[in-house]
Each structure stands twice: as C-alpha cells, then as structure tokens.
C-alpha cells in the first residue's frame, strides 16, 4: 500500500470515505434512527470507561488470538454483515479477501450485493446472515444454499425495526439504476470522479440487487428495496419461530440483537451457540443504550453458558479491549470497515483491521496483560452509573 493511501485511524478512513463517496451513499453509511441518540451513545460510551494500567511486569509479546463460533481467529475483531456494499465495485468479495488475509471471520449479509459462493471462495471462514423474511420455504432455501457454499455458521439478526425517519434526513438511493435514476443521481456522482471511475472501468454500475435472496423457483433476485419490502411485509417472529430457524441449521448459530438478560436466556433455551449484544448500529429504536453499557450485566448473567460478542460503536483497538474486559469474546465491526473499503478497497479494509490489531496490542502492553484471556473488569475504571441492565 502506498504511503498516500495508508491511514492511521478509522476516523481518517471515515474522512476519506466522505470525500470520495457521493453524498447519498455516504449518508447511508452514517444513518441512524430518529434523533440519533443511540447512534451517538454507541461511540461515546467507550470514553466513559478508563484503563487501569500497570507500569512493570509487562509482556514482551502479547497473544491476540481467540476463537468465535468454533473458528480460530488472529484478533478479536470480526466482520459484521452489512447490506449492499456499493461503496466499491468489489464490495463484499474485497472485504472477504481482506478479512481472510488478516486471519478473521467474514460476516455476509443476505442483503449483500455479491453471491455467497463468491464470498466463500474468498474467505472460507464466512458466516451467513439472515433476517426473518419471506416464507419458511424460502428461508430454508437460503440456508441450504449457504450451507452448500460452505458457510461455517449462521447469524440470525433480530435487532432491526423500521425507522420512521431521521432528523437529518434519509439518504436518497434509487431502487433501480434506470436512466432517470442515473440522471437524478448525476449531480451527486459527477463531482466524485475517483468513485465514479472505479465503477466505470469495470463496465458495471453499482449493483443494487440481493443475489443471495434469489427465489427458489428461479428468476431474478430482488433489488435491495425489494428485499427490504419482503422483510417489512413478513410478520415478526415469535420465539417458537426463532427456535424453528435454529433447528434448520445444524452448525454454530448466532442470535444478533440481544439487549436484555431475559432475551439472552431465551437464546440459550432455543439452542443458540452465540449471542451478539447489539442495537443494529443505532438503526433500531432510538434511545436504546450502547451495547457496551448492556454487555456487563448480560455477561454476568449468562457468560458461563453462551458465547458473547459485541456489535456497535467500535472505532479503535482500545474499544475492543474494553469490550473483552467486560465479557465479550470478540467484537463485530461494520461502519469502520466500510469506510476502509470506500477509502481504498481491499487494502483499506486490511488497513482498518491492522489499526484495530495495533490498538489492541498497545492496550494489552500498557495494561500489563499478556493475552485476551487475562483481561477482566479490574483493568477498567467503570463509573457507577455506566451500566444498563434490564
């Protein structure tokens, strides 16, 4: 990677993504629900936690490795599944290659712009993500396709509800790139020549379809908004439905969106192997607390019975260390790697993962801790009013 393309922080990746992307595309990456209170708290909460470093007996080498859903990984950061990644022509395939090169897991959204088969070819340690959407027959078809492609585990996302608007406005993204839509989008795209050229030289426009939702009967896959409409039109699942979905998958199963102890216990009851403490990156109900606030109580209640990961607001390696110290096995990142992808493609995602690795290692060194397994609450100063437990 050239020095000019390299960036030192996720914040710099975000600045470059903002400069490179058309405003509506960048707006889709930073979107949150309603007033954005949850969106802001997801990040700000980490600043309320302080470290308690040691000044001697430091470890010359630190072990950052762990495992999630039975998959060994080189650092406790995995790729959270996100929808259509039109920030770069290679989209999810570039992210899969980057995560494979850095020794970690790829999470692939069922709303992704690249087929599950292509992504598994780039990273064999891929988890396939689904929503409760469509008929049971179609859901089984999607799971069978992912299983045939070699997916190592399933993520069932339940932490998403319809957002009724954002105070700063919702990004305008066309359902299909028709001539009229292209002309309407041109004022946003034309000033972003590098982004526009990255697609032009592939002779392809940004793909707004969801190929992993191709119907069992065949035909064209739905557009992203068609898939979104199917999800909105599907009655929400009961716990019996979630149990049925778990029974259709005979491997590791993550339930994403846990924010309450009673839901964590129900996840154990239905046979989930992993839970993700998450609020969908601030895109669920606004004013949900940051996941890092909900994590300690959930970890204390069920951490000895189920594997826990955290998803939300992670921007640096020290955030990861704080999450592990409070009971997470690892974290999932979303916006951070998308900004890297927008800034510099596959190399940008690798850059973000390297930033995370360096920050984790520095924090472990300063704390006098030799491995992730040694981290605990005693490494942190936790304010009395920090946690949120329900």
Three-state SS string across 156-185, please?
EECCCCCCCCECCCCCCCCCCCCHHHHHHH
End-to-end CA distance of the chain: 46
pLDDT at 179: 44
pLDDT for the residue 194:
73
* Residue among 126, 109, 146, 106 at smallest CA distance from 231: 109
Residues whose CB falls within 8 Å of the CB of residue 216, separated by 6 or more in sequence, listed in order = 137, 138, 141
- Give the contacts of 180 (CB within 8 A, at least 6 positions apart): none
pLDDT at 31: 85
**Given this model, what pLDDT does residue 240 score?**
98
**pTM for the whole thing?**
0.92
Helices (H), 31-135: 37-47, 91-101, 116-122
Please give the pLDDT value at position 390: 79
Any idea how long the chain is?
Answer: 390
**Per-residue confidence in pLDDT tens, the chain, 390 aa:** 555 789 999 999 999 999 999 887 888 888 889 999 999 999 999 999 999 999 999 999 999 999 999 999 999 999 999 987 888 989 999 999 999 999 999 999 999 999 999 999 999 999 999 999 999 999 999 999 999 999 999 999 998 776 667 787 766 665 555 545 544 555 665 567 676 667 667 656 566 789 999 999 988 898 877 888 898 899 999 999 999 999 999 999 999 999 999 999 999 999 999 999 999 999 889 999 999 999 999 999 999 999 999 999 999 999 999 999 999 999 999 999 999 999 999 999 999 999 999 999 999 999 999 999 999 999 999 999 999 987
Model confidence over 244-295: pLDDT tens digits? 999 999 999 999 999 999 999 999 999 999 999 999 999 889 999 999 999 9
Q: From CA 227, how far away is CA 222, in angstroms rounded?
A: 6
- Nearest-angstrom CA–CA distance, 260 and 252: 22
Residue 385 neighbours by CB distance under 10 Å = 8
> Looking at the chain, which runs of residues are DSSP E strands?
50-51, 66-68, 71-73, 77-79, 106-108, 126-130, 153-157, 253-258, 274-278, 307-311, 330-333, 380-381
DSSP letters for 22-41: -HHHHHHHH--SBT-HHHHH
What is the model's pLDDT at position 232? 87
Gyration radius of the chain's alpha carbons: 20
Burial of 190 (0-12, 13-18, 19+ CB in 10 A): exposed
Query: Which one of the listed residues 59, 141, 164, 280 is annotated catalytic?
Result: 280
Distance CA 45, CA 379 (A): 17
> Number of C-alpha atoms within 13 angstroms, CB side, residue 87?
36
Annotation says 280 is catalytic: yes
In contact, 304 and 362? CB cutoff 8 Å? no
């Amino acid at each position: 990677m050239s020095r000019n393309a390299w960036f030192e922080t996720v914040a710099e990746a975000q600045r470059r993504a903002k400069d490179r992307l058309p405003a509506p595309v960048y707006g889709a990456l930073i979107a949150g629900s309603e007033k954005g209170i949850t969106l802001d708290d997801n990040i700000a909460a980490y600043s309320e936690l302080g470290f308690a470093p040691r000044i001697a007996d430091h470890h010359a080498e630190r072990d950052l490795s762990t495992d999630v859903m039975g998959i060994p990984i080189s650092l406790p950061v995995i790729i959270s599944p996100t929808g259509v990644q039109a920030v770069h022509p290679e989209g999810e395939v570039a992210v899969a290659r980057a995560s494979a090169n850095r020794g970690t897991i790829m999470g692939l959204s069922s709303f992704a712009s690249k087929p599950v088969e292509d992504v598994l070819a780039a990273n064999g340690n891929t988890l396939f993500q689904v929503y409760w959407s469509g008929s049971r027959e179609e859901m089984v078809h999607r799971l069978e396709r992912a299983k045939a492609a070699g997916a190592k585990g399933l993520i069932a996302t339940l932490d998403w509800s319809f957002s009724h608007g954002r105070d700063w406005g919702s990004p305008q993204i066309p359902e299909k790139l028709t001539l009229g839509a292209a002309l309407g989008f041109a004022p946003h795209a034309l000033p972003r020549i590098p982004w526009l050229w990255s697609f032009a030289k592939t002779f392809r426009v940004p793909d707004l379809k969801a190929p992993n939702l191709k119907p069992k009967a065949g035909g064209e896959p739905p557009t992203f908004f068609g898939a979104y409409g199917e999800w909105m039109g599907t009655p929400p699942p009961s716990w019996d439905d979630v149990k049925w979905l778990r029974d259709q998958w005979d491997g590791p199963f993550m339930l994403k969106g846990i924010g309450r102890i009673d839901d964590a216990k129900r996840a154990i009851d239905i046979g989930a192997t992993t839970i993700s403490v998450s609020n969908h990156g601030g895109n669920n109900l606004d004013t949900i607390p940051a996941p890092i606030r909900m994590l300690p109580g959930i970890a204390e209640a069920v951490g000895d019975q189920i594997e826990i990961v955290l998803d939300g607001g992670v921007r640096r390696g020290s955030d990861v260390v704080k999450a592990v110290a409070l009971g997470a096995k690892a974290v999932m990142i979303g916006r951070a790697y998308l900004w890297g992808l927008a800034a510099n493609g596959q190399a940008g995602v690798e850059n973000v993962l390297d930033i995370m690795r360096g920050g984790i290692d520095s924090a472990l060194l300063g704390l006098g801790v030799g491995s992730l397994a040694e981290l605990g609450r005693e490494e942190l100063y936790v304010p009395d009013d920090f946690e949120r437990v329900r």
